[in-house]
């Protein structure tokens, strides 16, 4: 991965870690899957994020996505063309059912 892609991914990672303190954060660069797409012209701009954080507990899936988008809004306007998000709370520890 070149420095530009690595820098974007690191900025994305820092932003999500700071905002959500996730117990799991996986960021995958999927830019190679979008070769030839207008938004992929600069490379390293399509990411898939899997994030597990307490901040998502009792929050609807749509609202979770909105929270993630809000946390990285400026990056989406300047450096990241597309972001696929899988956001969920950690498993419940009290035996109760959790909402996903």
What is the average pLDDT across 28-52?
72
What's residue 34's pLDDT? 54
Rounded distance, CA 45 to CA 78, Å?
A: 10
- Smallest CA-to-CA distance from 72 within 1, 20, 33 is with 20
Look at 95 and 84; give whichever has higher pLDDT: 84
Any domain includes 66: yes
What's residue 32's pLDDT? 65
Q: Is the pLDDT of residue 39 over 70?
A: no
Q: Is the pLDDT of residue 71 over 50?
A: yes
Any domain includes 93: no
Q: The domain spanning residue 74 has which CATH number? A: 3.30.300.90
What is the average pLDDT across 1-29?
86
Element of type H or E holding 3: helix 3-20
What is the average pLDDT across 59-63?
98
- Smallest CA-to-CA distance from 57 within 25, 21, 89, 19 is with 89
Q: Is the pLDDT of residue 97 over 80?
A: no
What's the domain range around 60? 3-88
């Amino acid at each position: 991965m070149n420095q530009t892609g690595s820098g974007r991914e690191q900025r994305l990672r820092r932003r999500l870690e700071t905002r959500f303190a996730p117990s799991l954060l996986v960021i995958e660069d999927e830019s190679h899957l979008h070769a030839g797409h207008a938004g992929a012209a600069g490379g390293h701009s399509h990411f898939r994020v899997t994030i597990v954080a307490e901040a998502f507990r009792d929050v609807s899936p749509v609202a979770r996505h909105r929270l993630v988008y809000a946390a990285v809004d400026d990056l989406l306007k300047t450096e990241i063309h597309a972001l696929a998000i899988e956001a969920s709370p950690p498993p419940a520890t009290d035996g109760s059912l959790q909402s996903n």
